[in-house]
Amino acid sequence: MERKNRLVKIISNELINYSGKSIKIIYDNFLEMPALALLDTNTKEPLIIININILPDCKDTIAHILSHEYGHHILKHVDINPNLRSKKDLLICEDQADIYAAIFISKFNYNKDKIKEYIKLRGDNTSYDRIKLIDTIISN
């Protein structure tokens, strides 16, 4: 329940004001990642789906994940079916969402080191570049 409370607080106190947008949150315990931004297939309403069970229990990391997904909506990445994008274009979208998130993290003084630890633990092939990008944007 603590994770959900942190999530709601970050959205209501910071992300809505920062982005100027309220995005519907849906919880799905079967999602294979912590969060995913997409458009409702029927209404075209922006959605963020969250698996609260695998969302890290760290306010800094929750803030990063949420702002990253918000970034996909603000930057209109979800307006194009990801299956129609090239691998290079998908990586560019991820970088742009990370930049959006890093600016948010910096503005609201979240701990970038905790976020970098989370990215390292995920250990995918983009971890090094994502950490470098965060360090470039957040100088503290």
Domain count for the chain: 1
The helices-and-strands tally (H runs, E runs) of the chain is 6, 3
Q: What is the model's pTM?
A: 0.91
Q: Using an 8 Å Cβ cutoff, are 50 and 28 in contact?
A: yes
Identify the pLDDT of residue 134: 86
For residues 96-117, b (16+ Cβ closer than 10 Å) or e, as one string? bbbbbbbebbeebebbbebbbb
Per-residue pLDDT band for 1 (boundaries 50, 70, 90) equals low
Per-residue pLDDT band for 37 (boundaries 50, 70, 90) equals very high
Domain residue limits at 34 = 2-137
Q: In Å, what is the CA distance from 137 to each residue of 58, 99, 106?
A: 21, 7, 8
CATH classification of the domain holding 62: 3.30.2010
For 75-93, what is each residue's pLDDT tens digit? 999 988 888 889 899 989 9
Q: Is the pLDDT of residue 7 over 80?
A: yes
